[in-house]
Amino acid sequence: MLEIKNLVKRYGKGAPVLKDLNLLVQGEQLMSIIGSSGAGKSTLLRCVNRLVEPTEGSITLNGTDITKLAAKDLRRARRRIGMVFQGFNLVDRLSVMENVQSGRLGYISTWAAITRRYPAADIERAFELMERVGIAQYADKRADELSGGERQRVGVVRALMQRPEILLADEPTASLDPKTSEQIMTLLRDLARELNLPVIINIHNVTEAKEFSDRIVGMRYGRIIFDDKPAALDAAQMDEIYAGTPSEDRQEIGAVA
């Protein structure tokens, strides 16, 4: 269970990016966070694993308050939080298997990582996950030889190699074509259910959010103004979430009945 209480994030002396935000996430659900640029979606996601430092409030994952951890304990806690990035964040010159095994760096010795002597159990687990997402045949291929969809699948497997208690995905389909985007969203939804894993996605495409999510959270100016099932998101609430958004920025949002 992830519980966020009274979360505030302020950069310098400016207005807060996140304003007294409260959120509870539990169970095998895929939750999408929507909102216009600047709403605080990415900041919220990155506060959860402290890639961004919260200014105030608490973020508790299964009993551990992430915001109170010092460096060593924070590194351990981050092993429990998988992250999938918009830009994939792969090492292009390394093979798919080597990129996937980087998800185990918090668990193996420095010597094993440097010499790439991965434990047999980790290799077996990697092949199982790669087979599950359809990239096992690329295990020895360099990451820069893959398509965007294949690279994102590598990112998903790398995150799952951590055996995370929660999976965060920051715009995981933004760099992909529509067909591949649907495939990645289907994969994330199915994995949430198969692994009993909460998945939180920051996403611009509301049509995809409505189709693949169990829950949608709408943000505006650092606050949550909508939190419900996709079927409850209607045109009036969309107007409230995206009020004042330039029309050219809304083209990717999608239609809402």
Half-sphere exposure of 225 (CA within 13 A, CB side): 18
Q: How buried is 195 (Cβ within 10 angstroms: 0-12 exposed, 13-18 middle, 19+ buried)?
A: middle
Instruction: List pLDDT tens digits, range 30-58.
Output: 999 999 988 999 999 999 999 999 999 99
* Residue keyed to tokens 């304003």: 19
Q: Could you tell me the strand order of the sheet in which 18-25 lies?
A: 18-25, 2-9, 56-61, 64-65
What is the pLDDT of the chain when averaged over all its residues?
90
**pLDDT tens-digit readout, 219-229:** 999 999 999 99
Instruction: Parse the chain into domains and list their residue ranges.
Output: 1-75+200-256
- The answer to whether the Cα torsion of 115, 120, 123, 125 is positive or negative is negative
Q: Give the pLDDT of residue 105.
A: 85
Class of domain 1-75+200-256: alpha beta
Q: 172-197: per-residue pLDDT in tens? A: 998 899 999 999 999 999 999 999 99
What is the C-alpha to C-alpha distance for residues 192 and 228, in angstroms, rounded to an integer?
Answer: 18
78-105 confidence digits (pLDDT tens):
989 999 998 888 999 999 999 999 998 8
Confidence of residue 108 (pLDDT cuts 50, 70, 90): confident
Query: What is the rounded CA–CA span in Å between residue 72 and residue 142?
Result: 32
Residue 167, beta-bridge partner list = 82, 199
